[in-house]
Chains A and B, each alone.
Chain A
Amino acid sequence: MAPLVVGISGINAVDNPGPGIGVARCLREAPDLEVRIVGLAYDAMEPGIYMDWVVDHAFLLPYPSAGHDAYRARLLHIQEKTGMSFVIPTLDTEMPFYMKHQAELARLGLRTFVPTPDQYRLRGKDRLGELATALGLKLPTTMVVSSAEDLEKAVDRIGTPVMVKGAFYKAYKAHSTKEALGHYHKLVAEWGYPILVQEVVKGDELNVVAVGDGEGGLLGRVGVKKMWITELGKIWTGVTVRHPLMLQAVERFMELYRWRGPMELECIVDGEDVYLVEINPRFPAWIYLSAGVGVNLPARLVRKALQIPPPPMEAEDYPAGKLFVRYTYELVTDLDRFQSMITTGACGDCGVDGQEGDPRRQGEAV
């Protein structure tokens, strides 16, 4: 049987890592899936391009904001070159494209497993209040603002310190209105409107990653406590936990919204109080933990989407108390891949016709 060729974005394995390399490693470790990984990059410097033991081929994509036609055309080009038949988008900014065009992409032979646009909107940052209520969680006082004047009013009402959060990414703590305004302008320039101003709540950061089957059920979940984080708040060391309220909230989320695809529930937990921070519509960068504890969520997503039966001995659930440790590593390689990415926007063994490993020699992907 020909290998399954999977396109994965977010292969920017940097200090604020995208989830792509973790997703790719999970798929490679699934005993029943024979995969070839196509890295979908936005910059020739993304480290995943050079990790040839994880990423078989890599291609540069135009940013989704450059227009859906160009983005779709590039995906179809990659499909033609590699036999790519499944795509796992891992970046928030890509989701609108994949959600909107998922049916059309599927007709063209590019399958995905992503939420619908309606589901996506329901978990938007501007609707966290109703979401928290529905899930039985608390919400830090939060105000959605779209002007500097509104921001000042929000800071006055909430009181400092506050968190100032971008529409897609990044959050900064501000100890004064002036500092909050600085963060506001920076976030608007980078990610646009709206901006959230949120009360700072104290407690431990607990997250759960899960995959919904789109029918109200759960394909699996893993909870983690962040033990050590980077300056940007990204997990560096963590431990698996089983917090009943959070696990129940994820189940409820799936039931209520019939979520299709991956999601990450982010909370602050202070004793019995569980505050909802946000719900991300994608795998988190720490997703490799799921394979490490026997609940390989990317593999489960692929199997569900392609109706592949689970392998025997698949774990039902995960244990608490497994440690996740991120580390830095370096590789040294020739300039070939870099040159190829710069000049042709592609690299890997797909670039040379008919060579060993060229998936076009192996027939169509499943």
Chain B
Amino acid sequence: MQRLRSLALNPDGFAFDPTTGESYTLNATAMVVVEGLRKGIPPNELAHQLAEQFDVSLEEALRDVEDFMDHLRTFRLL
């Protein structure tokens, strides 16, 4: 989580890791999840937000959040 919190994130979805120099591009849903996780919002609450904002079922949103968190772990950001 420390790495995720230290990311420099701009509104266009460009993220820069000042520790490793890696950069990432995030789409709109990824931005919601990353910003939410950085604020300490739990995954199921983030799924609710996605379901409200992006016309997707809660079940699908929760699965997507968990998948995305796995990606973040792969990149050692979480």
Q: Are B20 and A321 in contact (CB under 8 A)?
A: no
Taking CB as reference atom, which chain A residue is nearest B75?
A: A271
Taking CB as reference atom, which chain B residue is nearest A272?
A: B76
Q: Is the C-beta of A32 less than 8 angstroms from some C-beta in chain B? A: no
Task: Please indicate the chain A residues that have their CB under 8 angstroms from the CB of B20 in the complex.
Answer: 204, 206, 225, 241, 243, 269
- Among B19, B22, B23, B76, the residue within 8 A (CB) of A242 is B19
Q: Is the C-beta of B8 less than 8 angstroms from some C-beta in chain A? A: yes
CA distance A204 to B16 in the complex (A): 15
Task: Please indicate the chain B residues that have their CB under 8 angstroms from the CB of A224 in the complex.
Answer: 21
Task: Please indicate the chain A residues that have their CB under 8 angstroms from the CB of B23 in the complex.
Answer: 239
Residues in A219-261 with C-beta less than 8 Å from chain B: 224-225, 227, 238-244
Number of A-B contacts (CB under 8 A): 34
Taking CB as reference atom, which chain B residue is nearest A269?
A: B20
Given contacts A321-B8, A321-B16, contact A271 B76 (CB under 8 A): yes
CA distance A206 to B23 in the complex (A): 15
Residues in A268-284 with C-beta less than 8 Å from chain B: 269, 271-272
Q: Is the C-beta of B18 less than 8 angstroms from some C-beta in chain A? A: yes
CA distance A23 to B11 in the complex (A): 37
Q: Least Cβ distance of B22 to chain A in Å?
A: 8
Q: Are A239 and B21 in contact (CB under 8 A)?
A: yes
Name 10 extra pairs, CB < 8 A, besides A320-B18, A320-B19.
A225-B20, A238-B21, A239-B16, A240-B21, A241-B18, A244-B19, A271-B76, A321-B8, A321-B16, A321-B18
Q: How many residues of B contact A (CB 8 A)?
A: 9
CA distance A36 to B20 in the complex (A): 38
Q: Are A225 and B76 in contact (CB under 8 A)?
A: no
Question: Taking chain B's interface residues, is the majority helix, strand, or loop, or is none over half, making it mixed?
Answer: loop
Please, could you name 8 A-B residue pairs with CB atoms under 8 Å apart, sorted by A? A239-B23, A241-B19, A241-B20, A241-B21, A271-B76, A320-B16, A320-B18, A321-B16
Q: Find the residue from B8, B18, B23 having the highest chain A CB count within 10 A.
A: B18
Taking CB as reference atom, which chain A residue is nearest B17?
A: A241
Q: Are B21 and A204 in contact (CB under 8 A)?
A: yes
Task: Please indicate the chain B residues that have their CB under 8 angstroms from the CB of A204 in the complex.
Answer: 20-22
Task: Please indicate the chain A residues that have their CB under 8 angstroms from the CB of B22 in the complex.
Answer: 204
Residues in B5-32 with C-beta less than 8 Å from chain A: 8, 16, 18-23
Task: Please indicate the chain A residues that have their CB under 8 angstroms from the CB of B8 in the complex.
Answer: 320-321
CA distance A5 to B56 in the complex (A): 70
Residues in B47-69 with C-beta less than 8 Å from chain A: none
Q: Are A243 and B16 in contact (CB under 8 A)?
A: no
Q: Are B19 and A227 in contact (CB under 8 A)?
A: no
Q: Are A206 and B76 in contact (CB under 8 A)?
A: no
Q: Least Cβ distance of A347 to chain B in Å?
A: 40
- Among A227, A242, A269, A271, the residue within 8 A (CB) of B18 is A242
CA distance A225 to B18 in the complex (A): 10
Q: Least Cβ distance of A296 to chain B in Å?
A: 21
- Among A227, A244, A271, A272, the residue within 8 A (CB) of B21 is A227
Q: Which 9 residue pairs of A and B lie closest in terms of their CB atoms, listed nearest first?
A: A225-B21, A320-B18, A241-B21, A239-B21, A321-B16, A271-B76, A243-B19, A242-B18, A321-B8
Task: Please indicate the chain B residues that have their CB under 8 angstroms from the CB of A272 in the complex.
Answer: 76
Q: Least Cβ distance of B1 to chain A in Å?
A: 15
Mask for A115-137, Cβ within 8 A of B = 1, else 0? 00000000000000000000000
Taking CB as reference atom, which chain A residue is nearest B23?
A: A239
